Chains A and B, each alone.
Chain A
Amino acid sequence: MSDTQQLRASATVTVRAKGYDVWAVWVDVNAWKAWDDGIADIRLHGNFVEGNGFTLTPQGGEPVEVTLKTVTQGEEFSDETVIEPFGVLHGYHRIEQVGEDLVQVTHELVAEIRSHHLGVFLKEIWPDMQAGLGSAVNAIADIVSSD
């Protein structure tokens, strides 16, 4: 049996908007807390490019360091966060054009959690993370929607 367990959650919203508007909201990392209620504080270090990172303080939590793993302008980015003692979180964010002026925005979270911490993680942390995905994509949709 593996000593880590993988958890996966995602949220997708389809919205009448321009993909580049979604991208513009993403790259302004320092402003995420203006639309994501789960973030108490956030600070991008340098620019929104692969290898750089940001410090994110969740509401009621300790600051964590997040590293940008991939950045494809206008399309997607992914990040990685080590959360001790539980394991590693991988975040995936994608924009897909599904029609004229219609885009799908997806935030996906993959957690690789050490098995012996899984119980605590599932009980105390994962539910908020799952819920946060949905509220984040809805908040983005609310900002960028042209309806």
Chain B
Amino acid sequence: MEILKVRDAADVEQVVRAAVANEQPLEIVGHGSKRQVGLPMATNAVLDLSALNAVTAYEPDELIVTVGAGAPLADVLSMIDAKNQHFAFEPMNPAGLLGAGHDAGTVGGMLATGLAGPRRIKDGGARDHLLGAHAVSGFGDSFKTGGRVVKNVTGYDLCKLLAGSWGTLAVMTEVTLKVMPRPECQRTLVLRGLDDVTAGRAMTAALGSPYDVSGAAHLPLSALRTPDGALADLGAAQTAVTLLRLEGITVSATQRATSLAKALATFGSAEVLTDDMSAAVWQSIRDVTPLAATTALGAWPVWRIVCPPASGGAFGQQLAHDTGGEVIYDWGGGLIWAALPPAADAHAALLRQRAGAIGGHATLIRGSEAVRQSIDVFHPQSSGVAALSRRVKHSFDPKNILNRGRMVREATT
């Protein structure tokens, strides 16, 4: 395995050009913290972006930060936190879920994988906060897209494509993200003992209320799960918990919490968690700690299912029942994390059929290499959309050099 540690965008261009000339596919890596996600790739050359770690500009008043794609996410988060700002899409830290080092992960990796956290339901995903990028295409050419202003798009919005493309379209070298003021206060309502379908209804009611809910999650009662940390303190091992978060200035979040509790009275009386406890609980939800690699479920494959939120409760409840698996709901039911008992196809066929039927899709986030060799890790698409996606890939990377075969199993072109 050859690891090419690039120093700047010009190095990236050279590496990609050489790879094109030699028809040598490249694996694109930041810290490699999410390397185990996707179809196994056949390559013996790794393009390592971790040295592109400079902070080019941080302008809190302009609500932007520009960094090298290899900048450590943890460092950038603490830098903007010092100015009371954050990435509103609440990027998840999948290290625990995947069994990687806790502070691993780069900004580029976060964008390429687009794994947004609980606040996505209110403030959008990684794709909504990537304002501009410099990237090297599979032609070996450095191009830029978007800008360094909040209204950023002139021409096609290539940033949207780069976010969530798992490094298959272009190698991002420098990115500009929108930062937002961090809410000064948070409150979380806790409802106990609801089954998944009823919890789904409670979350739907909350998200359809005028109280500006910024997180809506449900943890079913589970015999298998042994929560620790904030979720243990919450008593999630004893009862199912439904969590609803309200953020903003103190007087507002407090009042909205009271109003929402009243509006949801038919679902039971709500407890209120305040700032630190609330933050700790949402971090656990964001990072899916109940399904972490170190838990009893560590050997189980984990799926990330995205579906119309109101369908989530019934879908997840049935899935858990039929497979004997474990589910956790976020995004008001629109995101389901499912750890399913080991099976040759990790239950892919069943999942895909059911998710597709409700307008959802499922991605295998944790799975053994053997499983990932044998199934589609990313949700198969209709033939027309799949063909269009292949043409889009071809328009960026005609020789299929970049992360070849990570998203879609295909022959070299």
A-B complex is real: no
Residues of B within 8 A of A (CB): none
